[in-house]
Structure 1
Amino acid sequence: MAVRNIEIMDTTLRDGEQTSGVSFSVSEKLTIAKLLLEELKVDRIEVASARVSKGELEAVQKITTWAASQNVLNKIEVLTFVDGGKSIDWMLESGAKVQNLLTKGSLNHLTHQLKKTPEQHFADIKATIDLAAKNGIQTNVYLEDWSNGMRNSKAYVFQYLDFIQTQNIERLLLPDTLGVLTPEETTNFIAEVHQKFPKLHIDFHGHNDYDLGVANVMNAIKAGAHGLHLTVNGMGERAGNAPIASAIAVINDFLSDEVSTNVNEKALNKVSKLVETFSGFRIPVNKPIVGANVFTQTAGIHADGDNKNNLYFNDLMPERFGRKRKYALGKTSGKANIQKNLQDLGLSLNDDELKKVTQRIIELGDKKEVVSQEDLPYIISDVLDSNTIEKRVVVENYVLGHARGLKPSTTLQLRVEGVLYEAHAQGDGQFDAFMNALKKLYKTHSKKDLPKLIDYAVRIPPGSNSDALCETIITWSRDKKEFVTHGLDSDQTVSAIKATEKMLNII
């Protein structure tokens, strides 16, 4: 059986912009339009609704000027209305040459919203299509609320289709306007229209109110649809539209024997991130294909399986979408995840070292901290450094107090050579209070002064996108010699205390 090509029309800039709180600027619309056509390689884009605003007109003018220069003006589409020619005037001013004319696809909408008979509506539609053709504008027609029309007023839908097939149109756009279709209904309704009107080009426009958008897209194709309307990140009114990333992955992986598209799936993630930035519409981390977590293995057993013949891989390889698989570092990650991250960094540890690093990551995970790959060298350095120093001095316990109107205070318990000592002090900050308590203990029991603290620096690991770790680097001076100790923890003050404990053991 010959593989047929499915047209992909992206409506992020029109239907997607109807997402609550989203409005693209003129320059953002132009940038997204270019990216959709040049990089993602969708077949068509719907960029605006006619007569909305001056800014909308300016955006479409910018897009059509660019599209004309690239000889792709026929790929730019605008939603228009049966309004006595006002939308056509707007189209002419905008420079767009393809209108997607919104008409009534259910008797309920026609009767209660327009309060017209089918014959009156058809006459108005014909006049609009003829006016468009006279002005060199191509027409596609939307049947608004078509899905409910098929459910509740099928006779009207077929009366409409009998009429529209005689008109000068290119495509029939069949929307599930309220997102109510089940996959079975999608199959039956599209198949019925396709069988009765085989010469009409059918586009399916799915919404996601029941989270069935992608399933309905899949079934629409099987039933004979020639085109799909999709949006980046599933943007759109209410629960949004069928998302382009998931739809393309489904087509490529489950329907490739029957259909193909021109979409470059490697650009899906790049486009997704740009639209997320421009729209402020955040992508859930678990959103298929483009979510931050979807190519991250968390469980150690999965990483172990990936090391053993890719046991936990499926066909959704991240490289297909310009991404890379990651192995999370946390309390469930285990040694296999850490080894995967070490391989990426070009590092290796022996079994004993790996065990100690794993334990430290588990401790951080128990604090609900997320550790990134960039944190790993710092954890290794801290763990291995700690194990090279004989711990004769241990900071056993401490209470850090900070209350409004009172100076910060610390109560400190220090174990030296097995003997426990305790002191209390105040300071200008929590760490200063800790150091004052420590000075008391040290002076009392060793009759010596502590090394001088001459530099104190705090940083997070460069490139880290987590808040799991804070590294404190303290430079000390004693007997005209300087030395440095490091402390690592999720809490800044605690990391400084750890660096100080190392200093105590060194001296």
Structure 2
Amino acid sequence: MTKRKIEIMDTTLRDGEQTSGVSFSISDKLTITQLLIEELQVDRVEIASARVSEGEFEAVKAVMEWAESNGYTEKIEVLSFVDNGVSIDWMVNAGVRVQNLLTKGSLNHLTYQLKKTPEQHFSEIAQVIKVSHDKNIETNVYLEDWSNGMRSSREYVLQYLDFLATQPIKRVLLPDTLGILTPSETFDFISLLRSKYPKLHFDFHAHNDYDLGTANVLEAVKAGANGLHLTVNGMGERAGNAPLASAVAVINDFLPEVEINLIESSIYKVSKLVETFSRVRIPANKPIVGDNVFTQTAGIHADGDNKKNLYFNDLLPERFGRKRKYALGKTSGKANIEKNLQELGLKLNDDDLKRVTQRVIELGDKKETVTQEDLPYIISDVLDSKLYEEKVVVESYVLTNSKGLRPSATISVCIEGKLIETNAQGDGQFDAFMNALSKVYDEKNLTLPKLIDYAVRIAPGSDSDALCETIITWETENKTFITRGLDSDQTVSAIKSAQKMLNII
């Protein structure tokens, strides 16, 4: 069976740039255009609006010079206006060969914004199309507010399309400008136009005000739309446009009779680049491209993945150039830990695995972030604790560090069931802690080992809230040994390391 081809037009650089606070530079626009066409292989890219600014002109000119030298001029489009040829001159000077002419798709817009009759509007549009044709510029026509037009002034929309069917244009672009359509309306409206105008090429342009953008895209294609307008990361005015990643996944998975050229494995790379250039963060739970969407958190899910991939669906991360992750935290089970250990090339026996799992859960309960890179430190910490019986416990402590005063520590230590409390000052919080500890051991006529090395490290690539491992080297008359402490707070991890020392001696 021959599949029906759907064109994908990306409008991140035009409609997506209307996201509040976003402005792409010349180099941004050029780089993103190159990626969209050569990496993602979208069919067309709408890169700008005519007449906006001198900077926009220079950006379009740079993109068109690149497109000309690489044979992509027909893939680059610019929004233009019915303005007595001003937009056309602007495009000719910039080297543009395809215009998307903005016109009125509802009687309300025509009557109250332009204050013109349909006949006046159509006459002016015909003149723009003729001049564009004479200047070798291909024309697509936007019906702004088309969705409201279909609801409230359908006769006008059909009258307008009757006129456009007589014009030398390539595509009719149908925007849901205010994002008001339901999926059933989208299907019904486009089905009606498809049956009445079988020779016209219709693009559908969805906005996401009700979070129905992707659903409406699906129904538009089912109804016979020939093309779709999408944006990377769903960028756009207000709630944004239909997101490219979701729309492509939905079409590929649910409409087997349809074909799109776009390369799925490049979606994530382009998405992250646009995030960087736009400075608009991708929500962690955004389908396909969000940080969390391929992360299993619950231990039962990781266990199910080990047993015939019970929690997999068709949205496999590898399709989009990504990998599945297994979160570490309070809902982690042994299966989560095992999955992460496999990634690191590590294996533990059942007893050690249980102990490591319990430690990860404890850390998660304290709302501490645990990453795969932390696991070797946690394993080291847990396995160290098996080497001795815990007879000494630092029950509580108060550490102070104030401007103009020496740091101090008040501690309570339980030694073989007896609680001892004392305080001391020092050159730093941990030094004050160790001085207080020395006072406790002096009272018992015991000598503490000498601290001869103190090292702190966090996992490579970690953030400021990462787990911190403090490694302390101690020396007695008879031996030198090392203890490790693990916590998100550097001083606390040092105290934990010192407690291990107390039990070893």
TM-score range, shorter chain: over 0.9
**Partner of 2:387: helix, strand, or coil?**
coil
CA displacement at 1:459 relative to structure 2? 1.9
Give the 5 Å matches for 1:96-495: 96-256=96-256, 258-403=257-402, 406-448=405-447, 450-464=448-462, 467-479=465-477, 482-495=480-493
In the other structure, the counterpart of 2:20 is 20
| CA displacement at 1:370 relative to structure 2 | 2.1
Report what 1:79 is aligned to.
79
Of the structure 1 ranges 456-465 and 343-352, higher mean CA displacement relative to structure 2 is found in 456-465
Counterpart Cα distance in 2 of 1:498 and 1:238: 51
Q: Secondary structure at the match of 2:502?
A: helix
Q: Which residue of 2 aligns with 1:504?
A: 502
* 1:92-123 CA distance string (max 9 Å, x none): 11111000000000000001111111111111
Q: Which segment is superposed worse, 497-506 or 452-461?
A: 452-461
Asked if 1 retains the 8 angstrom alpha-carbon contact of 2:28 and 2:277, the reply is yes
Q: Secondary structure at the match of 1:446?
A: coil
- For structure 2, the 5+ residue unaligned runs are none
One-letter identity of the residue aligned with 1:493: T
- Which SS does the other structure have where 1:314 is aligned? coil
Q: 1:202-249 deviations in whole A, cap 9, x for unaligned?
A: 000000000000000000001110000000000000000000000000
The one-letter amino acid of 1:164's match is L
For the structure 1 residues 377 and 447, does the alpha-carbon distance in structure 2 shift closer, same or farther, using more than 3 Å as the test?
closer
User: How many residue pairs are counted as aligned between the two chains?
Assistant: 505
TM-score by length of 1: 0.97
SS at match of 1:199: coil
Distance 2:136 2:416 in 1: 93
Measured in 2, the distance between the counterparts of 1:308 and 1:392 equals: 42
Give CA deviations for 1:70-90 in whole Å, capped at 9, x if unaligned.
101100000000000000011
For 1:90 and 1:472, locate their aligned partners in 2 and report how far apart those are by CA, in whole Å: 64
Identical columns (%)? 73
**CA–CA separation in structure 2 for the residues paired with 1:334 and 1:402:** 39
Cα distance in structure 2, aligned partners of 1:439 and 1:312: 54
Aligned equivalents of 2:391, 2:259: Cα separation in 1:
69
* CA drift at 1:481: 5.8
When structure 1 is superposed on structure 2, of 415-424 and 154-163 the one drifting more is: 415-424
Counterpart-to-counterpart distance in 2, 1:462 and 1:387: 26
Partners of 1:438 and 1:370 in 2: CA distance: 30
Distance 2:445 2:262 in 1: 74
1:480–1:385 Cα change, 3 Å? closer
Counterparts of 1:463 and 1:391 in 2: how far apart (Å)?
33
CA RMSD of aligned residues (A): 1.4
Give the superposition deviation at 1:486: 1.4
2:410 match: secondary structure? strand
**Match of 2:444, SS?**
helix
Residues in 1 aligned to 2:491 and 2:40: alpha-carbon distance in whole angstroms: 48
| Offset from partner CA, 1:129-178 (integer Å, 9 cap, x none) | 11111111000000000000000001111111111111110000000000
Read off the aligned partner of 2:145 and give its amino acid letter. Answer: D
Q: Distance in 2 between matches of 1:150 and 1:121?
A: 18
3-state SS of 2:309 partner: coil
Is 2:68 the counterpart of 1:36?
no
Q: Post-superposition shift, 1:368?
A: 1.1
Is the contact between residue 171 and residue 201 of structure 1 (CA under 8 Å) also seen in structure 2? yes
Residue 490 of structure 2 aligns with an amino acid whose one-letter code is: Q
